[in-house]
Amino acid sequence: MTFILIGFDAGGCSMSRIEGAFAKMSNKDLTGSVAAGQAGASVPTESDLAFARNAASDVLTKGNKDSSQPWENPETGARGSVTPLAQVYSAEDGRTCRDFLASYVNGRTETWLQGAACQTGQGRWEIHTLKPWRQG
């Protein structure tokens, strides 16, 4: 995990406002590196993503740069963990934001997702992007 995090370049992640409290992964997002780059990769369900988003919000709220938050969906058997990357940064609109990396394991298949979240006025972390991780 450490090796993967060291190689991840967190800079350049774009922030986009998505209506609702949580970002959703669209089919368009899934046609990139997850579908093409990892043969047999399973696609996270909305239910799986809800568990991952909750774990992301929890670990970002803790604020510890060296922590990860595990998650598991008992309905599908999918599981993973969420790890904050780098430090917080200020978005163009002045909000405090942070990038994270999430693993997704379902059966023998493991994929990675990258995300970004910003704090709301109430201090809760709102997930804005969650998409397949593209190395490079």
- The ranges assigned to domains in the chain are 2-132
> Is pLDDT larger for residue 13 or for residue 121?
121
Residues in the chain: 136
Is residue 107 predicted with pLDDT exceeding 50? yes
pLDDT of residue 136: 59
Dist. CA 68–CA 106, nearest whole Å = 19
- Are the C-beta atoms of residues 118 and 126 closer than 8 Å to each other? yes
Residue 3 is encoded by which pair of tokens? 């090796």
Task: Tell me the average pLDDT of the chain.
Answer: 74
- Are the C-beta atoms of residues 112 and 133 closer than 8 Å to each other? yes
Residue 95 is encoded by which pair of tokens? 């909000």
pLDDT of residue 128: 87
SS (H, E, C) the chain: CHHHHHHCCCCCCCCCCCCCCECCCCHHHHCCHHHHHCCCCCCCCHHHHHHHHHHHHHHHHHCCCCCCEEEECCCCCCEEEEEEEEEEEECCCCCEEEEEEEEEEECCEEEEEEEEEEECCCCCEEEEEEEECCCC
> Is pLDDT larger for residue 16 or for residue 131?
131
Task: Please report, rounded to a whole number, the percentage of residues in the chain having pLDDT higher than 70.
Answer: 66
Residue 134 is encoded by which pair of tokens? 């593209």
> Is pLDDT larger for residue 41 or for residue 5?
41
The predicted-structure confidence for 38-75, as pLDDT tens digits, reads as follows 444 578 899 999 999 999 999 998 877 678 999 999 99
pLDDT of residue 36: 35
The predicted-structure confidence for 77-97, as pLDDT tens digits, reads as follows 999 999 998 788 998 888 999
Task: Please report, rounded to a whole number, the percentage of residues in the chain having pLDDT higher than 90.
Answer: 44
